[in-house]
Structures are given as structure tokens and as C-alpha cells.
Chain A
Amino acid sequence: ETHDQILSITPTTPEQVGIVKNISTQYETALWQPVDAQYIQEETQVHLFVPANSSATVKALLQRHNIAHEVLLDNTNHLIEMQTRNDSTDPR
């Protein structure tokens, strides 16, 4: 992957919860939802920011353990560019 991504991950067993907790505390990821690994539970969506250089490893881990996941945002870099672009008028 060449872009940072947001993954939506849904663990369904206690073992999968444990694996997602481990992933979220490694690989320079950032939890969006829930805010901390202690809140991760079965059947609840986890939104995880994954930097491009960790993406392949994280996805391979999820696939190896049959953990359901999808790409929520494919190109966060582009969205950050949009957010920081300044083409507005003066507040007056």
C-alpha cells in the first residue's frame, strides 16, 4: 500500500479481540474507535488508522486469523490535504 488507511475491523471471538488489541498497540497504528484497546469487544466495529508501511503486515495478520475487516478510508493523505487546504475568504 502507498497510502495510510483506516480499517474497520470486527472481531467476533475473544481470541480475535486479543489479536486486534495487540495490533492496535503495535505497528504505529492509531485507534479511532474505540479510543483505547481496553474497550475493544466482540461484534463491535474497531476503526484503526494504519500507516502505509504497516498496512500489508496488519492485513496479513487479520486475514491469517479470519478477522473480518474492510478499508473504511483508502487514502487518508488525500483527505488531510483537503482539510489543510486554505482557499477561503477573509472572515470579514
Chain B
Amino acid sequence: STTSFYEQYHSLEDIYYWINRTAQDNPNTIQTILLGSSFEKRPLYALKISLNSENKKALWIDCGIHAREWISPAFCLWFVQYSLAFYKQNQDITDILDNMDVYILPVMNPDGYLYTWTTNRMWRKSRSIHPSSYCVGVDLNRNFDANWCTEGASNDPCSEIYCGAFPESEPESEAVANFLRSKKDTIELYLSIHAYSQMLLFPYSCTLDEAQNHNELLEMAQDASRNIRRYYRNTYKYGAGAQTIYLAPGGSDDWAYNLGIKYSFTFELQDRGRYGFLLPPSHISQACNEALLAVKTIARRVIDKT
């Protein structure tokens, strides 16, 4: 074998196996949490990485909200492996894990992810069916209660940006929202991992208005982008979502921010469009290391501030 497990993409079955195996192999560090189930009744497992003391603040990372963005689940696996391997070896991850618990949801949209492996590589949405339409799926990142289904989303079930029948209509978004609501007093930092275009985005995407701590979020993203540029040629753009890309209401980061998680970001990983969703496995390592650097930069700044 020439490449590591973490420099490959994996089927949903393999990811479920990896989740169980990782928890079994690290019983004192990792706990599996069942958040709920998908529309097609697949389990939504999050991993909790917890070291040393109890009752720490927490970092949440979700991956794979959009089915075709395969680098995103690959990053979640990469992050867990890195945390386990480099705790007490790397100062940044040691400081983060000494000060924060980490919740990681490797695949938020398992039905869609499976569909991209078996049927249509370009599928993006969930796989829910709607009685009034022959079209399938909801854009889970338009389904949260943040200016839900206003300009930048669609109420057409056939659209790629269909917002769903009502906020949190989808079991996947409802499960994540319920969990975050139950942990809102401990979660200090929310991260959602997407692909592609290499950007570090923060609220708001649902309005052109600036977040109350816009400048603080801007500085953190700027710092992370600067750190990435120091090590890699590629430069990450950064800014508020609506101002940087376009209006996109109903996103999870805006919703988490409004819930009270004041440090909330969406990362768009490699690349800049050459490979897009078909990023070759040989690029996984750099894509994940860039994003890891951004996570470490921002998490350390959150620890310093809270």
C-alpha cells in the first residue's frame, strides 16, 4: 500500500466502521454520540474527543452537509487522527484539547453521501422525498432558521437551494440543531466544513448586515489566512458570507451564531476550481493541513478570548 487511510476517500460503510473502530480503540478519549437519524434512517454519529478535566468549553465541527463535497468528511477523519496522534506532540493541538472538548460530526448528510458513491457523483442535497413533488432532497445549508427561505434560497423542491418545507424540516438539520441547543452554554466555536474555493467565511450569509462582532471574526479569519499563506502557496480568501459570495439564508453557521455561539465559521476547502469536487486523493493531505492550520489558529484565539 502506498497511501495512508487518511489520504483516501471512503465509502459511507467504511466511515461508519472507522467511527466505531476509533471509539473502541480510544475508550478513554473518544465517545460516540448518536445525534439522530437521516431521512432514510441512517445514524448520525458524532465523536466527542475529551481529554483530562471535565466541563470544558467545546468546539463543534461538522462535515459533509453537502453530499458531493467529499474533501469535507475526509477532513473530519483527518482532524480526529491528527488530534489522537499529535496530542502532547504538537503544542497547538495540545493546547486546544487541554482547553476544549471537540465534537465532530463526520457525515451530516449520509443519505446524500451514499448516493454520490452509488448513483450520482454530483448530488448535493439530502435525499428526502416530498409529497407534492417528484424532485428529491433539501439543501441542508438552507434549512436552518436564519432568515429562512428568503432571497438566496428557493421554495422549489427541484432547486439545488431548496430550503425545505419549514426550518429544520429535515431530520439531519433538526438533529444537529437540537444537539447544539442542548450544548449551547459550552460550545464556544462552531465550524462547518465545505468545498470548494478556499475561503474562510463567517456570519452573516443570510443578510448583508454585519455581525455584532464582525471585526473580531474578520481578524480571526485574517490571521488564519495569513498563517496558511506562510506555509502554503494557496491563499484563502475570507469575509462575511453574503459580502464575500452571495446571499444564502438558512445556513448552519448563521443559525449557530444567532443561537449564541459567537465564533462561527464556514470553511471552503481546496481547491480553487481546477478539480472542484473531484479533488484527487493526492491533494487530500495539503487540503486538510491548510484547513487544520486555520482551525488551530482560530481555536487558539477563541481560547485566549474566553
Cβ of B3 under 8 Å from chain A: yes
Cβ contact within 8 Å between B160 and A91:
no
Name the residue of chain B whose CB is nearest to the CB of A76. Answer: B278
Cβ of B246 under 8 Å from chain A: yes
Q: Mark B150-185, 1 if CB is under 8 A from A, else 0.
A: 000010000111000000000000000000000000
Cβ contact within 8 Å between A47 and B276:
yes
Chain B residues near A38: list those with CB within 8 A.
154, 161
Q: Which of A9-17, A54-62, A77-85 contacts B (4 or more CB under 8 A)?
A: A77-85
Cβ of A42 under 8 Å from chain B: no
Cβ of A68 under 8 Å from chain B: no
Q: Mark B1-31, 1 if CB is under 8 A from A, else 0.
A: 1111111111000100010011001000000
State in angstroms the CA–CA spacing of A91 and B159 once bound together: 38
Cβ contact within 8 Å between A91 and B5:
yes
Cβ contact within 8 Å between B159 and A36:
yes
Q: A45-B273, A72-B274, A79-B278 are in contact. Are A86 and B8 (CB under 8 A)?
A: yes
State in angstroms the CA–CA spacing of A84 and B274 once bound together: 19
Cβ contact within 8 Å between B1 and A88:
yes
Shortest CB–CB separation between residue A75 and chain B, in angstroms? 10
Cβ of B260 under 8 Å from chain A: no
State in angstroms the CA–CA spacing of A85 and B117 once bound together: 12
Our pick among B6, B8, B280 for the contact of A87 (Cβ within 8 Å) is B8
Chain B residues near A72: list those with CB within 8 A.
273-274, 276
Cβ contact within 8 Å between A84 and B277:
no
Name the residue of chain B whose CB is nearest to the CB of A30. Answer: B122
Name the residue of chain A whose CB is nearest to the CB of B120. Answer: A30
Our pick among A31, A80, A82 for the contact of B160 (Cβ within 8 Å) is A31
Chain A residues near B124: list those with CB within 8 A.
35
Cβ of A64 under 8 Å from chain B: no
Cβ contact within 8 Å between A88 and B4:
yes
Chain A residues near B279: list those with CB within 8 A.
83
* Number of interface residues, chain B, beta carbon within 8 A: 37
State in angstroms the CA–CA spacing of A6 and B18 once bound together: 32
Shortest CB–CB separation between residue A74 and chain B, in angstroms? 12
Cβ contact within 8 Å between A36 and B122:
no
Size category of the binding interface on chain A = 20 to 34
Cβ contact within 8 Å between B160 and A35:
yes
State in angstroms the CA–CA spacing of A31 and B280 once bound together: 20
Q: Mark A25-49, 1 if CB is under 8 A from B, else 0.
A: 0000011111110110000010101
Cβ of A52 under 8 Å from chain B: no
Our pick among A36, A83, A92 for the contact of B280 (Cβ within 8 Å) is A83
Shortest CB–CB separation between residue B143 and chain A, in angstroms? 14
Our pick among A35, A79, A91 for the contact of B161 (Cβ within 8 Å) is A35
Q: A36-B154, A73-B275, A91-B21 are in contact. Are A82 and B5 (CB under 8 A)?
A: no
Chain A residues near B277: list those with CB within 8 A.
32
Chain A residues near B10: list those with CB within 8 A.
86
Cβ contact within 8 Å between A88 and B5:
yes
Most chain B CB within a 10 A radius of its CB, from A49, A73, A79, A83: A83
Shortest CB–CB separation between residue B32 and chain A, in angstroms? 15
Name the residue of chain B whose CB is nearest to the CB of A89. Answer: B1
The 5 closest A-B pairs by CB, nearest first: A30-B122, A79-B278, A88-B8, A91-B5, A88-B5
Could you jot down 11 A-B contacts, CB within 8 Å? A6-B276, A30-B122, A32-B276, A33-B197, A35-B124, A36-B160, A73-B278, A83-B70, A83-B281, A86-B10, A88-B4
B residues neighboring A (CB under 8 Å): 1-10, 14, 18, 21-22, 25, 70, 81, 117, 121-122, 124, 154, 159-161, 197, 245-246, 273-281
6 extra A-B contacts, CB within 8 A, seeds A31-B160, A32-B276, A35-B124: A32-B273, A38-B161, A72-B274, A79-B278, A83-B280, A89-B3
